[in-house]
Amino acid sequence: MAREETPRLLLSIPYAPPTVDKLGATATRIGGVTPRGPGSLAVDENDRIYIWDRARLRVVVYGGGKFERAIALPYVEQEANALLVDGDRLYLRAGSDRFASIEYEIDGPTGALLRAVSSEGGSIYPRRRGRPQPSATRDSFGADAAGLDYSYTSTPQIAQSRYERVDLARGAVAYAIEPAPEKLIDAYVRADGGLYELAADFGGVGSVYVYALLAPSGVARPPSPPIAAPATPLAFGRPVPDRLIATLAEAGSVDLDAQSRMAVWWLASLAKERTDLPAPPYGPLLLARWNDGSKLDVVVDGSLLFVDGKIYTGPAAAYQQLASYALASPSRLAELTARGATIRIPDLPGLQRNLTTAELVDLRASLSKGFSVSEGELPFMLEDPFPLYEIALGDVVIRTRGNDYGSVGKLRTGAFVHDGTLDDLVRSWLPVPPISVNDPHSLFLADTVVLDQVERGGIQDITRWKASIVRALSAVTPSEQSEFVQVKAFTFTFEFSSGRTETVQVRAGAFTYRGRVIPLAGALNLSLFGGVP
């Protein structure tokens, strides 16, 4: 009969607050999208625990229950899984579309990408590695080096799931009841048969748990030596460039280091030429240069590449992710403060000033203690609140994002964690001045906003959209949107804690504020804020 074993809790890690030794989690999104934390785990022969921290694009290593180090992997797709450790090699797998996935072979000590292959070419994993899926039947998700199978069986009728070690000739030889029902993220089979589970709570302040489920089987064979990886990849018929420059709007340009150049070229080597797709309507993200004077400009749109008049597509889509990670590096931003900085509130035209030498020292100190994360970890808000602060370092624009985060570039291209002081610093450097009541910008300071529109049910409190509405009313550039001519005129009422009340009447092509008619193309489109959660 199968022997039952008792799971043991090895590790419990809170994923907040955002410090380098804690795991990250993507933010909750509107529409019921819950936070997503670590995506996979592995355990080596020395009982070190490796966790794929997808919110921060890194593998975090724990030894003896304590944080040891983090291995940055900004070139790996965020939704990667199937982490496996074999000697000094790490493996991850990411599926970018229905037809192909990528397998990454990574140097554990450095995080360098040694090889990337498409699933179409067969697996480079040293042993079978899958993920447990809830099933009423025995679902095999992995095997150890001795050839024993490992399965996961879910029985909803009794709200119980269990893991089994299976000898294909004799059946189940050992099992363990799942220790954290409905919290399963991943399970890992070590080469010697040790079985481990990754589970998590999310929402608010949560934790990640690692359990030992089954002890080693005692019949493991030595792992086979890894197949030697090709020395370098070829993409577009060219070797790895001697220089690769990444450029993004409002994030500037950065020379990628040798490790990042190699990673980009491995991913690009998976792309295949297509003749049935249009060219991306963007400028180049990557500028490749070789010492012989030759060059290539690479335009990127997700997994689509446009190079030298040809179009390529493949399973990889992490090119902009890697560029964003490098461009938003706090150490890079700290260095850029040497050329000075300007602080501004973009919602209030003309309100900006240069930082003093002492303020630049504080800015550099706050940035230098931070680290890069993915854009998905930024705190999610329905709209940018007022005031929204920007720090311009030449052509690089930093925006504060809550108490601990910042973003870089247009549309939050990159993201980083700082030391927690940046938000307080910018408010002290540039407080919001008194705004004349005759200026529509003063509506930013209202406490509530009410929409009165017969077509959408009469009076609605839409304070949650206050900043977006005022930004639209204060638009510097005319809207190019067509007017909803079928919408009738309506009214916004802004109420202040002081007792002040302002009424804004909106009609086609304009709005009235304090008796003054102000042209605004597409003004009736503001009615769309009504009824929106």
Cα–Cα dist 163/175, whole Å: 5
CB 352 within 8 A of CB 344: yes
Class of the CATH domain delimited by 329-429 = alpha beta
Q: So what's the architecture of 3-214 in CATH?
A: Beta Barrel (2.40)
pLDDT for residue 153: 87
Give SS3 for 107: strand
Q: How many CB atoms lie within 10 A of CB 159?
A: 9
The alpha-helical segments, DSSP class H, found in 236-356 are 258-268, 319-327, 330-336
pLDDT for residue 164: 93
Beta strands in 74-183 (DSSP E): 81-86, 89-95, 101-107, 113-118, 139-143, 149-155, 160-167, 171-177
Cα–Cα dist 440/373, whole Å: 37
Q: Which residues of the chain have pLDDT under 70?
A: 30-32, 96-99, 134-137, 156-159, 203-205, 219-230, 412, 454-457, 476-486, 532-533
Cα–Cα dist 302/312, whole Å: 11
Q: Which residues contact 358 (CB under 8 A, 6 or more apart)?
A: none
pLDDT for residue 216: 94
Q: Give the torsion sign (CA, 234, 239, 240, 245).
A: negative
What are the structural domain ranges in the chain? 3-214, 243-325, 329-429, 440-529
pLDDT for residue 203: 61
Are 3-214 and 329-429 the same fold in CATH? no
pLDDT for residue 497: 94
pLDDT for residue 227: 61
Residues in the chain: 533
Place of tokens 């638009």: 475
CB 119 within 8 A of CB 103: yes
pLDDT for residue 150: 94
